[in-house]
Every structure is written in C-alpha cells, then in structure tokens.
Structure 1
Amino acid sequence: MSVKYKLYQDNRKSSKTRGKFYARAVVSDVADLETISKEIEENTSAKQADVYAVLRELVNVMARHMRNGDRVVLDGFGSFKVGLKTKPAETAEKFNAAVNIVGTRVNFQPETHWKAGDPARTRAFLSGIEVRPYEPKPGEKGGTQPKPDTEENP
C-alpha cells in the first residue's frame, strides 16, 4: 500500500510560487469507527461492540477535556489541543475576543520518536510511507480534481 498523490498548480495571483507544481495526497478510502472497531476485534480478544463503545466514549471524553482547554495525550498516538483562528488587533487594549477570535480548530501532533545522536525524527503513523502517483481506475474520469488555488483557497 502507498499514499497516492496528484499534482496541482499554484495559481494564487500574489504567490511567489505562482505557476509551480506541488503534490497533494489523494484519499483512497475512509476508515470509520465501525471499520476500525471490527479490525480491532480481529486483532484482539475484545468484541467489536465493546471496542466500538469504548472508541465512542473516547471521542466524548476527549471533547470534554478539549472544551476545558486541556491537551489530550494518547500515548503511542499523539496529542490534541484546541487552536484559535484570530484576526489581528492594533493593540492589546483593542483586542476583543468576540470580534478578533473568529473560529476554533483541533491541532493534532503525532507522537514523535528519535534516537540519540540521530537528527531524524519519526512521527507516529508516518514511518515507512511510500508515495506514488494517483492512477485512475479503468472507466474512472481521473477521480476528484483538487480545487484550483485562489486567494481564498491557498
């Protein structure tokens, strides 16, 4: 298995890299809680329904902790925290949360491993990844094309 990619061109008018080509990963399938819990059942002695229930509760507990401003760390997996999308204020005194904070997001940092004396770090889930160009299946119209880049869609 490998991660497939498609090329896209940077068409943003004010970009220093306008006209250059970059790769974007193509999603090949979706692994939802149902699928993951079935796979865990196959690899352990736990029943799929029990695994599913635990994973659903994990989502609920993580959401509660993140709403409280906590960082959620899952050993061997990574950490999650809330990030803020903001607009700038001219001064600290002029900053108004209702006006300047325009959204929230989830920041995920995969667990990182490294060896003493080796400057290379390996992030959980990313070691051993191979990348290959996306090739549409027979009869497929080239698959989903990425949206052209614009000033609003960098």
Structure 2
Amino acid sequence: MKYRLKKETKPTLPTFGKYKAVAVHYHTVESRQLIKEVAQRMGTHTSNVLAVMTSVAEVVNNHLREGDRVRLEDWGMMKLEIESEKVDNLKDFKAKKHIRGVRLHFLPQSYEGHQELYEGITFEKDKLYTED
C-alpha cells in the first residue's frame, strides 16, 4: 500500500502542523471489473454474478437502513452510524437540526484479534508525490 505524508492544516486541531501518513489510491475498481473477475473464478456468466451482486446489495442496503448490522462471512460487519451535534439538554435535541448525516462503519472479520483483511499489507512511500 502506497502512502504520502500530509501536514495537518486545520489550526483548531491539536495536531496542527504535524505530519501523518495517508493512503494513496490510484485506481478505482468498478463493479463491472469485480463481476468479470468473480465470473471467471466461478466459471459462470457475468449476468449470473451481476444478478446475485445486485440482489445482495439491495438486501444489505435495506437491512442497514432499518438499523440492522450486517455480517458477511469471511468479510466483516457493516452498520450505519449517525453523526450528530451535541446538545446540553435532552429536550433541546431536534433530529432535523442536530443530525448531520449517516456514515457506513465497516469492521473487518476478526478471529481472536487477527484480521485477515490486513494480512500481508506492506507500506511503500509514494515516489510520484513530493512533500512541501
């Protein structure tokens, strides 16, 4: 995995002016490519994989919207989390005013503290990027 060093530019943060590693992403793999690769591995037609992936996405999204957690074996668990402003008094809270949005939270599959998703990752500084 390639990384760059990035300086924190928000003066309000306690880490202002310090550097941190951030992941570099050069490519986005589209669903068409995933479907093609899965179909090749399974020895089936891309239309079959597309139908299954579309159905799984619809079912998972419906469960997430209902507030369920979704655990996919050998992958991990997903859930939606609410981002909201804090209020001093319970009676002052108004959902439309204080809820800023929703984020997807993904927890990779873990067996006794070992997360297979992260296995074998190595880190390499991005040579195409120069720091300021």
TM-score of the aligned structures, taking structure 2 as reference length: 0.89
Contact 1:78 1:108 survives alignment (8 Å): yes
Q: Does 1:129 align with 2:127?
A: no
Distance 1:4 1:130 in 2: 8
Identity, in percent, stands at: 25
| 1:33-72 alpha-carbon deviations (Å, 9 max, x no partner) | 1111111122122222211221111111111111111111
Contact 1:78 1:124 survives alignment (8 Å): no
Distance 1:61 1:105 in 2: 18
Q: Does 1:110 align with 2:108?
A: yes
Q: Does 1:42 align with 2:34?
A: no
CA drift at 1:14: 2.8
1:37 is paired with a residue whose SS is helix
Q: Which residue of 2 aligns with 1:54?
A: 52
Distance 2:26 2:115 in 1: 21
- Number of matched pairs: 131
Q: Which residue of 2 aligns with 1:150?
A: none
TM-score of the aligned structures, taking structure 1 as reference length: 0.77
Q: Report the AA paired with residue 19 of structure 1.
A: G
Q: Which residue of 2 aligns with 1:32?
A: 30
Q: Report the AA paired with residue 128 of structure 1.
A: G
* 2:70 aligned to which of 69, 72, 86: 72
Distance 2:120 2:111 in 1: 14
Larger relative contact order, structure 1 or 2 (CA cutoff 8 Å, min sep 6): 1
CA drift at 1:16: 2.6
- For the aligned residues, what is the CA RMSD? 1.8
Q: Report the AA paired with residue 134 of structure 1.
A: D
Unpaired stretches in structure 2, ≥5 consecutive residues: none
Distance 1:19 1:75 in 2: 41
Distance 1:50 1:86 in 2: 41
CA drift at 1:124: 3.6
Structure (1 or 2) with the greater helix fraction? 2
| 1:91-126 alpha-carbon deviations (Å, 9 max, x no partner) | 112222122212111111111122xxxxxx322421
